[in-house]
């Protein structure tokens, strides 16, 4: 996540003569810039504490320009909650437990992202629109992790089709709890020990 600092970071609308030329690409880029600024403020202060007036001031845009892209603060919050998950992607030859640890290492090295996940998940308890985004994104992460386990299990384990699906359903709960547990514990516990957590994760996720 990039931090937003204000007007200098936002691009100006291109013009031909005196008539603004606004392309779909320009509109999408402007929307993304607003989201990045808002996400930075939400990560720092929390969703409810960061006001629209603060967000508007940080972007350097007018209130009308912001509301041209987002009809409400809730819509902007939902957009900010949907972070890019590309870093949580397995290589073709990655062992499943190594992939899960790879995901945890990404969280460990990007504390701002981990904190933002924790803030977002907390907000999901009371804001249905954010809850929907969290459900979608955690589902995507779960599916990616289970796909790696499926590939490994089909090659290494002697399971029938139904046995494999039952086993993967059980693993789904385990891998998701390991991921979410790291986020919550690393942001909430003063004496959190990441190395011990990784060892715990390896033990849990190598169970066949």
Joined together, the tokens standing for residue 160 give: 């029938």
DSSP 30-89: HHHHHHHHHHHHHHHH-TTTS-HHHHHHHHT--HHHHHHH-SSHHHHHHHHH----TTS-
- 150 with 168: CB under 8 angstroms? yes
pLDDT greater at residue 22 or residue 9: 22
Backbone φ, ψ for residue 10 (5° rounding) = -105, 140
- Determine the Cα–Cα distance for residues 54 and 123; give it in Å rounded to an integer: 19
Confidence class for position 161, pLDDT limits 50, 70, 90: very high
Which of helix, strand or coil describes residue 207? Answer: coil
How would you write 114-140 as a 3-class SS string?
Answer: HHHHHHHHHHHCCCHHHHHHHHHHHHH
Taking 80 as the threshold, does the pLDDT of residue 22 lie above it? no
Q: How many helices (H) and strands (E) does the chain have?
A: 9, 2
Backbone φ, ψ for residue 4 (5° rounding) = -100, 140
Confidence class for position 203, pLDDT limits 50, 70, 90: confident
Taking 90 as the threshold, does the pLDDT of residue 44 lie above it? yes
| pTM, 2 dp | 0.82
User: Which tens digits make up the pLDDT trace of 57-84?
Assistant: 999 999 999 999 999 999 999 999 999 9
- Determine the Cα–Cα distance for residues 141 and 88; give it in Å rounded to an integer: 7
**What pLDDT sits at residue 1?**
47
User: Which tens digits make up the pLDDT trace of 92-122?
Assistant: 889 998 999 999 999 999 999 999 999 999 9
**What pLDDT sits at residue 3?**
40
User: Which tens digits make up the pLDDT trace of 6-20?
Assistant: 333 455 555 444 545
């Amino acid at each position: 996540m990039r931090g937003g600092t204000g007007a200098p970071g936002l691009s100006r609308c291109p013009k031909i003569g005196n008539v603004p030329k606004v392309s779909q690409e320009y509109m999408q880029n402007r929307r993304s810039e607003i989201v990045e600024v808002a996400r930075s403020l939400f990560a720092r202060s929390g969703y409810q504490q960061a006001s629209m007036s603060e967000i508007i001031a940080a972007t350097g845009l007018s209130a009308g320009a912001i509301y041209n892209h987002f009809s409400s603060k809730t819509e902007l919050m939902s957009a900010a909650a949907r972070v890019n998950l590309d870093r949580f992607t397995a290589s073709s030859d990655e062992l499943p437990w190594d992939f899960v640890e790879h995901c945890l290492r990404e969280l460990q090295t990007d504390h701002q992202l981990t904190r933002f996940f924790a803030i977002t998940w907390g907000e999901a308890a009371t804001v249905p629109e954010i809850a929907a985004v969290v459900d979608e994104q955690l589902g995507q992460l779960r599916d990616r992790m289970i796909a790696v386990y499926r590939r490994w299990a089909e090659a290494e384990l002697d399971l029938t089709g139904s046995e494999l699906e039952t086993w993967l359903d059980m693993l789904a709960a385990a891998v998701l709890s390991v991921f979410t547990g790291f986020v919550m514990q690393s942001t909430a516990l003063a004496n959190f020990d990441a190395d011990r957590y990784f060892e715990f994760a390896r033990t849990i996720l190598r169970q066949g």
